[in-house]
Structure 1
Amino acid sequence: MTVFGAIGIAGTGMTVNRKWLDAVSDNLANINNAAPTDGEAFRARYVVAQAMDYGEAGGVEVAGIELGDPEGRLVHDPSHPLADDDGYVRYPDIDMAAQMTQLIMAQRGYQANAAVVDRAKETYTAALQIGRN
């Protein structure tokens, strides 16, 4: 694998981790969105990643996005303006602790791939300096 190959692979990892961060951020931003009981709750987004050219150092890509349960969870809140006749409102079925864990994992993955890009650039620069002497 060349230095440029390492940068390319790490770049694909950064892209996937960025999309993962975007999905988790979207989930956290909508965790308290209420919906009427006859509608769908906000559906959490989950990034599905897959290897590119598996076994040949091709990197990773987003294979798709899976959506959470549209049923969500019912909460009894008769004072809410969207409450039905029985006083229930539909909220997304999103666990904040799980999302925060996902957020940390995505951040660390992004940082690790960014570090690989930095090291590869340093290696390439060092190789150019050796070639000058």
Structure 2
Amino acid sequence: MSLFNIFDVAGSGMSAQSVRLNTTASNLANADTVSSSQDQTYRARQPVFAAMLEQATDEQVGAQVQVAAIVESDAPLVRQYSPNHPLADTDGYIYKPNVNVVEEMANMMSASQSYQANAQVASAAKDLAKATLQLGK
């Protein structure tokens, strides 16, 4: 694997984790929203990652991460009886998102650590490239 492939892999990993952090932030921001119907209620979203393998001409293989899709959770929405709420439907129910705050916080910590790990890989590759250039002096 060439040095530039390392930067591509680390960069794509950082980009993917950035998308993961953004979707987690969106889920947390909408965790307490209320709606009067199931159709209008926010649903938790999660990114789906896929590996992109690239076959180089000189027998080197590189892999990058891409965001294949962002999917909505199938978990049931929270239906709460609250007849005095201004957004209650005709039966007195309000609907809350299917966002699990604990899972989202764990997701955020994991994405942050993965982002940091990819940044450290890029930094180590940069340091190795600098050291390699210093060999010729």
TM-score by length of 1: 0.90
Cα distance in 2, alignment partners of residues 42 and 122 from structure 1: 45
1:75 aligns with 2:85: no
Amino acid at match of 2:21: L
- Report the secondary structure of 1:5's partner residue: helix
1:13 aligns with 2:8: no
- Decide which of 50, 62, 71 is 1:57's aligned counterpart: 62
In proportion to residue count, which structure has more strand? 2
Cα distance in 2, alignment partners of residues 114 and 62 from structure 1: 18
Contact 1:50 1:62 in 2 (8 A): yes
Describe the superposition over 1:5-62 as per-residue Cα deviations: whole angstroms up to 9, x where unpaired.
1111000100100000000000000001111036431021110000001783221101
Residue in 2 aligned with 1:108?
113
Cα distance in 2, alignment partners of residues 38 and 51 from structure 1: 34
Q: Which runs of 5+ in 1 are unaligned?
A: none
Residue in 2 aligned with 1:94?
99
Deviates more, 1:53-62 or 1:13-22: 53-62
Amino acid at match of 1:45: R
Q: Which runs of 5+ in 2 are unaligned?
A: 56-60
Describe the superposition over 1:47-96 as per-residue Cα deviations: whole angstroms up to 9, x where unpaired.
00000017832211011111124962111223321012332101101111
Pick closer, same or farther for the CA change 1:38–1:6 going to 2, 3 Å: closer
Cα distance in 2, alignment partners of residues 25 and 45 from structure 1: 10
Pick closer, same or farther for the CA change 1:129–1:54 going to 2, 3 Å: closer
TM-score by length of 2: 0.88
